[in-house]
Amino acid sequence: MIKVGIVGGTGYTGVELLRLLATHPEVELAAITSRKEDGMPVADMFPSLRGRVDLAFSSPDKARLTECDVVFFATPHGVAMAQAPELLAAGVKVIDLAADFRLQDTASFEKWYKQPHTCPDLLKEAAYGLVELNRDAIRKARIVGNPGCYPTTMQLGFAPLLKAGVIDASHLIADCKSGVSGAGRKAEVATLFSEASDNFKAYGVSGHRHSPETLERLSLLTGDKVGLIFTPHLTPMIRGMHSTLYARLTTDIDNAGLQALFEQAYADEPFVDVMPFGSHPETRSTRASNMLRIALHRPADGDTVVVLVVQDNLVKGASGQAVQCMNLMFGLEETAGLRHVPVLP
């Protein structure tokens, strides 16, 4: 059994990790940290885990994380890089759900996350945790930087087109929407029920910190310069993400050829569903699952291809993806503990 520790188990990604790992056939939950809730049974905070998780939260100094096989960080940016050196020295693998090990460009990290990167040497060896595009590196890694939720949809949506060289890489557009849980489990006016419900708004239009991450990774897929206009929106739902991606075609390719690019790219991917051409995937078709669904459109058979991508922002966009990485890192079946059917309605 894999002994797992979770740092920061009281947020939405933390409880989602607990939900997934509590029924994972190869996992033993060994420690869940929270300074504020030290000593509180996890099931008292999250009644959905009664009978599944018997642990209590413990402060980090009591958690004995160095005795784990892997530690997940479901924490604010900056926490993982402060604790990773000690854990790695003890032979513990690290999976960070924040941004500490996503960007290889430390100057970019420091610009967007407003803090210095304290272990650039470890950053150099960190694997980017988007399994479908970086599987071999993740399998061999000691430390993984889990992708952002928006970047997951953008990369998997644009990747087959960029790899095939059939679009203008310098003029990509991503119009993305996320449920309120993407903002985290904290008290903020913008995410209060009376503020977010019955409302719809864009944010981060002039610049969002997921942009440099996405650009860095998309640039690895093509020899062309990548340009991206990315606009995120907040939608009045708890979980779910819908990204509408636009790209201009530069080669003579028919609709069947476009569909074939995606079907071939993701033919063996258990968590990517390429739907029939012209489909309209819904966010609820992925709710509470690690599945991501993609559908292609070509309005008026013109030179623009539209890619629709949906996922659950807390699962494939965060905790499920992290578990998928863990499975690879420990030589398990990639789907272990992640076979949940989406919840509907």
Query: Which residues form the catalytic set?
Result: 149
Phi, psi torsion values for 203, nearest 5 degrees? -150, 165
d(CA 2, CA 27): 5
> Which residue carries 């803090």 as its tokens?
115
DSSP 80-99: HHHHHHHHHHTT-EEEESSS
Residue 59 DSSP label:
-
Task: Report CA torsion sign: 142, 100, 294, 220.
Answer: negative
Tokens of residue 48, six digits: 């959905």
d(CA 214, CA 238): 24
CA 193 to chain centre: 25
Task: Report CA torsion sign: 101, 129, 290, 1.
Answer: negative
> Which residue carries 């998780």 as its tokens?
53
Tokens of residue 238, six digits: 């708890």
d(CA 281, CA 124): 37
Start-to-end Cα distance in the chain? 35
d(CA 330, CA 284): 31
Is 31:68 a contact under the CB 8 Å cutoff?
yes
DSSP 101-136: TT-S-HHHHHHHHSS--S-HHHHHHPEE--HHHHHH
Residue 342 DSSP label:
P
